């Protein structure tokens, strides 16, 4: 039975239990927590860092692990950020952090919904999509992923996306041409085609869109314009 969505309960200590370098500027961090309540695919957590002088900084990060897996976030460094440089470049096994959550009941997927999924991600917006596709595929739900990154070396989860166990995926690069990738932005015509199969619209298909604000708004307009019902669309913006 999936965990029930619940209100935030306050801050809890966690320990860094492992990291994976995804790209030069992105890293996945796994945690252990004695009282982790479980999470739903698509939820996020808040992380709080405290400096020696008592100054605190808090940021929200999507969970990139599926329910039942150890909690994991995947962070892309912001050069002027207060939290992401530490998480991407400094945090190591055994470090103690504080987290709050899991949080969120809108941009989530649960196994009682078996409708086919279309996931559209831009940049680090791929993080919650990983949690969703891993949970959905384990349940036998069809998943199609369209992912937009600037360059090939900024494709997060590249090994998993190219493996037989990954979702059916198309990766677009907007700043360079490279073998095995589509070039240019995700188009409205492409999204319209993905909403149906053989020209027949899939009435139950649900779409999730996550990424930078402009990317999400443009993609959402294209999907609605192509005939997707608004109540079958979930969006989440980064930045």
CATH class as words, domain 11-103: mainly beta
Q: Phi-psi category of 54—alpha, beta or left, where left has phi over 0 and alpha has psi -120 to 50?
A: left
- Residue 206's DSSP bridge partners are 117
State pTM to two decimals.
Answer: 0.92
* 74's tokens: 């995947």
Residue 202 is predicted with a pLDDT of 62
Distance CA 236, CA 209 (A): 6
Pairing mode of beta strands 72-76, 26-32: antiparallel
Residue 8 is predicted with a pLDDT of 52
- The pLDDT profile of the chain, 239 residues, written as one tens digit per residue, is 444 555 456 899 999 999 999 999 999 999 999 889 999 999 999 999 998 899 999 999 999 999 999 999 999 999 899 999 999 999 999 999 999 999 999 999 998 887 899 999 999 999 999 999 999 999 999 999 999 999 999 999 999 999 888 899 999 999 999 999 999 999 999 999 888 754 445 667 999 999 999 999 999 999 999 989 999 999 999 86
Alpha-carbon distances of 225 from 131, 191, 218, 230, rounded to whole Å: 27, 10, 10, 10
DSSP state of 220: H
* 49's tokens: 């860092």
Radius of gyration of the CA atoms of the chain, in A: 18
Element (H, E) at 100: strand 96-103
Q: Among 116, 139, 131, which Cα is nearest to 205's?
A: 116
Query: Tokens 């008592």 identify what position?
Result: 54
Residue 239 is predicted with a pLDDT of 62
Residue 200 is predicted with a pLDDT of 43
Q: Domain 117-238, what fold?
A: Rossmann fold (3.40.50)
Residue 154 is predicted with a pLDDT of 97
Residue 21: Cβ-neighbour burial (10 angstroms; 0-12, 13-18, 19+): exposed
Domain spans, the chain: 11-103, 117-238
Residue 73 is predicted with a pLDDT of 98
SS3 annotation, 125-172: HHHHHHHHHHHHHHCCCCEEEEEEECCHHHCCCHHHHCCCCCCEEEEE
């Amino acid at each position: 039975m999936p965990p029930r969505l619940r209100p935030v309960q306050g801050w809890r200590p966690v320990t860094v239990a492992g990291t994976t370098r995804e790209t030069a500027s992105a890293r996945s961090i796994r945690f252990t927590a004695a009282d982790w309540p479980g999470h739903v695919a698509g939820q996020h957590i808040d992380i709080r860092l405290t400096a020696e002088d008592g100054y605190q900084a808090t940021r929200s990060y999507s969970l990139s692990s599926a329910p039942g897996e150890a909690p994991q976030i995947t962070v892309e460094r912001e050069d002027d950020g207060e939290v992401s440089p530490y998480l991407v470049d400094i945090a190591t096994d055994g470090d103690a952090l504080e987290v709050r959550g899991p949080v969120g009941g809108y941009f989530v997927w649960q196994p009682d919904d078996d409708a086919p999924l279309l996931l559209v991600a831009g940049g680090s917006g791929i993080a919650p999509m990983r949690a969703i596709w891993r949970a959905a595929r384990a349940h036998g739900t069809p998943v199609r992923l369209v992912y937009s990154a600037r360059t090939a070396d900024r494709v997060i989860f590249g090994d998993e996306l190219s493996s037989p166990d990954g979702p059916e995926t198309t990766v677009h690069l907007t700043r360079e041409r490279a073998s095995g990738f589509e070039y240019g932005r995700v188009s409205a015509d492409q999204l319209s085609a993905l909403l149906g199969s053989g020209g027949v619209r899939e009435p139950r298909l649900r779409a999730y869109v996550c990424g930078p604000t402009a990317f999400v708004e443009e993609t959402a307009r294209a999907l609605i314009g192509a005939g997707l019902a608004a109540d079958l669309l979930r969006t989440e913006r980064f930045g």
